[in-house]
């Protein structure tokens, strides 16, 4: 299992209602819950569908990676997705097609795997002082005055309102373009926890800027 992929997105709530399953979804559930050779065939068939979805994702997001790496990532992602799906099968209520529900696991696993592979040999910038460079941008000649004013105000708000951890996450995600799943891996955290940090930081900045008269 890719640490932090599906496991970092543990559901907070279960579906609260059921709907009628479409025929294809019902057959999938029956076969996957069956036993013997028919269940094994269903697992293998689902795995192939997941490989297809994972290949779609790694080819789409994995430009620059070696073709052999992409296929390995796709197969590993499909393996992990199948495990996650079988573990959560009872949570599927038929609110969407079974295959759509299943694809999202494969696509998530593949996306996280590609992001992490692309960054595996790169240093993740976690210097929260990088925010200070924002203020320098305010004086850039080709920056229009309105944007320059906002940049300066955001820089001041970062300094005045955010904790060091909030600055670090905000800067890494919004200025350095570090994928949040990569950050989560490096910081032994989760996408959800780091996005909560980012969300709280953004709220603080908005509040500070509103106090300064910005209408954003």
Partner 1 sequence: MTSHEHLDRDELSARMLGPREAEVTCEQCFEVLDRYVEAELAGADAERLFPGLGPHLAGCPACREDHESLRDYASATS
Candidates 150, 158, 155; CA nearest to 133 is: 155
Least Å from the CB of residue 100 to partner 1:
4
Least Å from the CB of residue 180 to partner 1:
5
34 vs 52, beta carbon nearer partner 1: 52
Where does this chain bind partner 1 (CB under 8 A)?
A: 9-13, 52-53, 56-57, 60-61, 95-97, 99-101, 103-104, 107-108, 111, 115, 130, 133, 137, 144, 146-147, 150-151, 154, 170, 173-177, 179-181, 191-192, 195-196, 198-199, 202, 205-206, 209, 216
40 vs 199, beta carbon nearer partner 1: 199
13 vs 68, beta carbon nearer partner 1: 13
C-alpha span between 103 and 54 (Å, rounded): 8
Contact 32, 89 (CB under 8 A): yes
Residue 191, helix vs strand vs coil: helix
C-alpha span between 149 and 146 (Å, rounded): 5
Least Å from the CB of residue 139 to partner 1:
13
Least Å from the CB of residue 65 to partner 1:
16
Its sign, for the CA torsion 33, 35, 38, 40, is positive
Residue 94, helix vs strand vs coil: coil
39 vs 71, beta carbon nearer partner 1: 71
Least Å from the CB of residue 36 to partner 1:
29
39 vs 132, beta carbon nearer partner 1: 132
Give 42-95 as a DSSP string: HHHHHHHHHHHHHHHHHHHH-TTS-HHHHHHHHHHHHHHHHHHHHHTGGG--SS
Residue 2, helix vs strand vs coil: coil
Least Å from the CB of residue 174 to partner 1:
5
39 vs 93, beta carbon nearer partner 1: 93
Tokens of 155: 């820089």
């Amino acid at each position: 299992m890719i640490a932090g992929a599906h496991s970092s997105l543990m559901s907070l709530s279960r579906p609260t209602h059921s709907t009628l399953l479409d025929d294809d979804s019902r057959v999938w559930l029956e076969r996957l819950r069956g036993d013997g050779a028919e269940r094994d065939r269903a697992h293998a068939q689902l795995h192939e569908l997941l490989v297809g979805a994972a290949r779609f994702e790694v080819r789409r997001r994995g430009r620059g990676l070696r073709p052999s790496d992409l296929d390995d990532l796709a197969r590993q992602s499909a393996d992990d997705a199948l495990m996650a799906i079988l573990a959560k099968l009872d949570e599927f209520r038929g609110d969407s097609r079974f295959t759509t529900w299943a694809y999202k696991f494969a696509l998530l696993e593949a996306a996280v795997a590609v992001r992490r592979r692309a960054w595996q040999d790169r240093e993740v910038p976690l210097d929260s002082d990088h925010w200070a460079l924002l203020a320098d941008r305010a004086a850039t000649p080709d920056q229009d005055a309105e944007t320059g004013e906002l940049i300066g105000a955001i820089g001041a708000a970062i300094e005045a309102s955010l904790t060091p951890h909030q600055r670090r996450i905000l800067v890494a995600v919004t200025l350095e373009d570090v994928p949040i799943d990569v950050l989560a891996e490096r910081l032994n955290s989760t996408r959800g926890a780091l996005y909560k940090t980012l969300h709280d930081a953004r709220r603080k900045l908005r509040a500070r800027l509103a106090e300064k008269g910005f209408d954003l």
